[in-house]
Structure 1
């Protein structure tokens, strides 16, 4: 079986095609941004957000090393500002979130429930039918349980006729392993 992060990558690989516009809502160390850049091909585009300059620096380095920097727009702002970069009516195929703190970074800088929910609302508004949002929620840190609670509460309100919401987690492991949420906009969505 795959862990939450591995499974999120598997799901994304089934949806993102060359030429797509996609978003990495939390660039971190650039692993998801790199995967998305590989999947969208030379005609696609990735918007990659992070509030920490060190995260974007690491992401830039990873992309340059792979020769894929031109496929990505690195944005030094929070994911809740996505609307500043997406035109009204512009559609995206996929969005990836990793919630928590930057691995190897300052653990006091964490994603927050209010900005995460705001970013999700924007992403859902721009998501194409059969588009996918993955959220890997690392919740074993101060503030993590609050964000997880807000996330579950919000995702539970999504209309089942427009969205399918999956929760994937191991229940017999110690140290609060991350939980994956995947949201698919239905093909016949009325949104």
Structure 2
């Protein structure tokens, strides 16, 4: 029997794998334990994955994994996702955010509303028309609530001629994570 896994991260993977093809440039805006980075790497063996993380211990741990595995299409950057435009000079096909804190680590170190909003805006400029951004939002902690409110306000304002925005959430679970999906429409033009 086929089981459907209803998790924000699983749904994000399903959406991204429909868009990304081998050779694409993609971004994991929040490395964490590296699950999304490894997923993106598997989709674009001949492309490049840029992965951002502020916690040096997570970067060092993940760099050891990719060295041991001999993975060559991942560039891990020990910096905040709001600085992605300083490291990426190509258009990208997909950007994945998994907000909140690093599981199993210091829960006081979380993504923050101001830097996340800046990263989303910069990421939308980096996306190619037809590209997608997924944002798994966790609201079970104080900063998560603020981040969710600010994100929803910001992306609701995106011009529907240029972006399609979807909010996928659980309606029968209190404080459940939800998934935001933003697609840059094929008709998007930089000169507008």
- Whether the TM-score (by the shorter chain) exceeds 0.5 is yes
Q: 2:120 & 2:167 partners in 1: Cα distance?
A: 16
Query: 2:181 maps to which residue?
Result: 182
Structure-2 residue corresponding to 1:80: 82
Q: Distance in 2 between matches of 1:65 and 1:182?
A: 33
Deviation at 1:16, TM superposition (A): 1.0
Write out aligned runs for 1:1-191 (5 A).
1=4, 2-41=6-45, 43-68=46-71, 70-87=72-89, 90-174=90-174, 176-191=175-190
Alpha carbons 1:79, 1:115 under 8 Å: kept: yes
Secondary structure of the residue aligned to 1:15 is coil
User: 1:138-181 CA deviation, whole Å, 9 max, x = no partner?
Assistant: 1101211111000000010100010000101111124x111100
What is the alpha-carbon root mean square deviation over aligned residues?
Answer: 1.2
SS state at 2:142 partner: coil
Q: Residue 183 of structure 2 aligns to a residue in which SS?
A: strand
Superposed displacement of residue 3, structure 1: 1.4
Q: Distance in 2 between matches of 1:59 and 1:155?
A: 31
| Per-residue Cα deviation, 1:109-135 (whole angstroms, up to 9, x for no partner) | 010111001011111011001100000
Q: Provide the TM-score with structure 1 as the length reference.
A: 0.93
Structure 1, unpaired ranges of 5+ = none
Instruction: Give the number of aligned pairs.
Output: 186
Return the alpha-carbon distance in structure 2 between the equivalents of residues 182 and 62 of structure 1.
29
Structure 1 stretches (4+) deviating beyond 2 angstroms? 57-67
Q: Secondary structure at the residue paired with 2:18?
A: helix
Unmatched 5+ stretches in structure 2: none
